[in-house]
Amino acid sequence: MGGILEHRHLGSLPQPRSGRRRGRRLIRRLVQSISRTVRRMAHRISLLADQPELIADVATMRWQEWGHPPEPEDPAWWLDATAREAGRAALPITFVASGDGAALGAVGLGQFDIEERRDLSPWVLGLIVRPDCRGTGVGLALMDHLTHWAAEAAFTAAWAATAGAEGFYSRCGWTATEKVFCASQGQTVTVLRKTLV
């Protein structure tokens, strides 16, 4: 009897501050992990070659993001480039994230990207997430999918050039290797590398 009372009494003692902090941290991590799982369940990733009806959606997203000088302004150019990059087994290849029959984002892998670094290959191409879906894990899921595919296809490393998404690539495990002035974009880009094996 005394033992039970003692146990109850101990259980109601205030927890030390560090214990409460640890508890809050654990709950926060649990909530983050559940919300990541829910976000991933909300979309699927497939080859754009298997979802040709989504090519126009992806092209429009890219045109809206990049279709201004010095990049081509004609939406038809973006449609043509997106269709050309929708390979199946050989580069260039594109993966599309979709939900409710619409494209949410896409990413490609091609032999070359910036003219200044034709000595390196392959390159991430046209990574884009629909503006209203950003920050929900679609970009991360697309990059995971692409790098797994590239590793299985026996590529040992891949490269990416970006002017504004270095933080995103770092979060995905890529390492910046150099800054290069890219003439076709009229700006300096960061080149990043990811080891695949």
Ligand X SMILES: CC(C)(COP(=O)(O)OP(=O)(O)OC[C@H]1O[C@@H](n2cnc3c(N)ncnc32)[C@H](O)[C@@H]1OP(=O)(O)O)[C@@H](O)C(=O)NCCC(=O)NCCS
| DSSP count for the chain of H helices, then E strands | 6, 7
- Residue 69 binds ligand X, judged by CB under 6 A: no
Please name which of 111, 170, 175 lies closest in space to residue 139, comparing C-alpha atoms: 170
- Residue 164 binds ligand X, judged by CB under 6 A: yes
Please name which of 124, 119, 116 lies closest in space to residue 179, comparing C-alpha atoms: 116
Among 81, 138, 146, 182, binds ligand X (CB under 6 A): 138
Among 45, 86, 93, 129, binds ligand X (CB under 6 A): 129
- Residue 42 binds ligand X, judged by CB under 6 A: no
8 Å CB contact between 149 and 93: yes
Q: What's the min distance (Å) between Cβ of 21 and ligand X?
A: 20
- Residue 101 binds ligand X, judged by CB under 6 A: no
Candidates 6-14, 23-31, 112-120, 159-167: pick the segment binding ligand X (CB under 6 A). 159-167
What are the E-state strand segments in 10-122?
A: 44-47, 93-99, 102-110
8 Å CB contact between 140 and 171: yes
Sheet containing strand 175-182, edge to edge, reads 44-47, 93-99, 102-110, 123-129, 157-162, 187-195, 175-182
Kindly state the DSSP code that residue 87 receives in the 8-state scheme: B
Among 58, 91, 128, 192, binds ligand X (CB under 6 A): 128
Among 139, 159, 182, 192, binds ligand X (CB under 6 A): 139
- Residue 132 binds ligand X, judged by CB under 6 A: no
- Residue 134 binds ligand X, judged by CB under 6 A: yes
Site for ligand X in 165-184 (CB under 6 A): 165, 167-168, 171
Residues that bind ligand X (CB under 6 A): 65, 127-129, 134-140, 160, 162, 164-165, 167-168, 171
